[in-house]
Amino acid sequence: MKKDLRGIPLIGADAFALDRYESALEQFQGYVGDPVATIDEALQASPGFIAGHLMKALVLYTLAERKFVPLAAQALEAARAHSAQANDREQGLIAATGLLIEGRWQAASRSIDHVLANHPRDALALQVGHLMDFYCGDALNLRNRVSRVLPHWDASLPGYSYVLGMHAFGLEEMNQYPEAEATALGALSIQPKDGWAVHAAVHVMEMRGRIEDGINFLVTREIDWAPGNGFAFHNFWHLALFYLDGAHHDRALSLFDRHVHPEPASFLLPLIDATALLWRLHLEDVDVGDRFERVADDWQARLDGEAGFYAFNDAHAAMALAATGRESALAQLTLRMQDATRQGDTNAAMTRDVGLPLTEAVTAFVHGRYADAAARLESIRDGAHRFGGSHAQRDLITLTLIESALRSGAANLARHYTAERLTHKPASQWGARLWARAQSAAPLSSAA
């Protein structure tokens, strides 16, 4: 029986297929190249390569778009066709992939963890589980899923740096900032081109308000994390956030044009970042030209296929459609989201608890119903992790809440949440700007 370089047994692979599998796995870990095309080369040579079919299914599914689900399902069926020969690891991943395709993300994540209990060096299962923890907003398991396998890994194993990078991000999302930064830097000392580890370190700097550190870290390391990396758009988005904090809107827009949304988006992940960046600029009343129209075009073209699949995506589509006054498309999206709440999958709760109220809030905001927007945002803010994303991504909710409070005349409410921001990010210039506006809006009550 063939084994990968970490000792994971693989059924149906010859030497060529195994080589292609290792290359595809490294591409998946490093966000470089096309792991699906690479694993297809292995499958053409070895159609009975069960782990190859499963890798294809799982990589496609972790793009978090409905359009990839039929392709993932086809790959799963190809794996099932050979399941009589499958080992326990492959049987476990067949079960987990089936649960993903059914939309039962939490159950799939538990199934993946059962695989990792028996095969803690399964790099594919670990990364897929990590990404699904991210999509589910499960910060605890973003950290602990990696913690549970970490003692089985060391620097002698290929991909160890990527394991450290994932652990660093989990530590950051659990607010363990010194440990997260040290772990991310440890990963980068092994593999400087690990964009996920760069991203983990940058999240620490974002959450602690270390704006200049973040800019310097990204700019001085750009040669490592940007060229040819499929994840670079997100790290450029982080760089734009740092510039936004200092009100360097021209620099943020330049990054948008060159790296975040230089052309119509091929995938939703960069489109989410493009939308989130423009919405922040919208809150600051910055003229973004026709950029939001172009982003809204991208979203509107995808509504028939994607609306109602994943609440995090839908909420960002709502921001673009609302900001550009596309009432009919926004109504279509809202109906699809309402339909999604009646399904029996993970997204139903995400949409009901966070996605729909957030969509209603941004709609109220653009219509000038700021008190309504603030009330809806306040009701979901502290539980918004339930529809996925990171602390940095969900910060958009707090920023919109503060801006809604300011515009509705609720100065004390604006101070309340701005004070939280300044406590955690005392060097943040954006926080200081919001505080100054809140202070000048109205006097504090005698009780305060």
Are the CB atoms for 89 and 119 separated by under 8 Å? Answer: yes
pLDDT above 80: residue 13:
yes
- Model confidence at 5, pLDDT cuts 50, 70, 90, reads very high
Q: What share of residues in the chain are helix, strand, coil (percent, to 5)?
A: 75, 0, 25
List, as one string, the DSSP characters of 147-170.
HHHGGG--TTSTTHHHHHHHHHHH
pLDDT band at 446, cuts 50/70/90? very low
Q: How many Cβ atoms are within 10 Å of 408's Cβ, its own excluded?
A: 18
Query: Which residues are bridge partners to 2 per DSSP?
Result: 10
Query: What's the pLDDT score for residue 447?
Result: 36
Q: What is the largest CA-CA distance in the chain?
A: 77
**CA separation for the pair 437, 422 (Å, rounded):** 14
Q: What pTM was estimated for this model as a whole?
A: 0.96
How far is the C-alpha of 301 from the C-alpha of 127, rounded, in Å?
A: 30
pLDDT, tens only, 197-238: 999 999 999 999 999 999 999 999 999 999 999 999 999 999
Looking at the chain, the whole-number percentage of residues with pLDDT higher than 70 is 98
Residue 315 near residue 387, CB atoms below 8 Å = yes
Task: Identify whether the C-beta of residue 3 lies closer than 8 Å to the C-beta of residue 9.
Answer: yes
Q: Return d(Cα 374, Cα 362) in angstroms, integer.
A: 10
Residue bearing tokens 């920023």: 399
Domain ranges of the chain: 1-131
Tens digits of residue pLDDT in 305-334: 999 999 999 999 999 999 999 999 999 999
Q: What is the mean pLDDT of residues 286-300?
A: 97
Q: Is residue 443 packed enough to be buried (19+ CB in 10 Å), middle (13-18) or exposed (0-12)?
A: exposed
Residue partners of 166: CB distance under 8 A and separation at least 6: 126, 127, 130, 142, 146, 196
Bridge partners of 433, per DSSP, are none
Determine the straight-line distance between the first and last CA of the chain, rounded to whole angstroms.
71
User: What whole-number distance in Å separates Cα of residue 209 and Cα of residue 393?
Assistant: 15
Q: What percent of the chain has pLDDT over 90?
A: 97
- pLDDT exceeds cutoff 50 at 394: yes
pLDDT tens digits, 131-147: 999 999 999 999 999 99
When pLDDT is cut at 50, 70 and 90, the band that residue 448 belongs to is: very low
CB-CB contact of 19 with 38 (8 Å): no
Contact by Cβ (8 Å): 323, 366: yes
pLDDT value at residue 442 = 61
Give me the chain's average pLDDT, please: 96
Q: Say which CATH topology domain 1-131 has.
A: 1.25.40
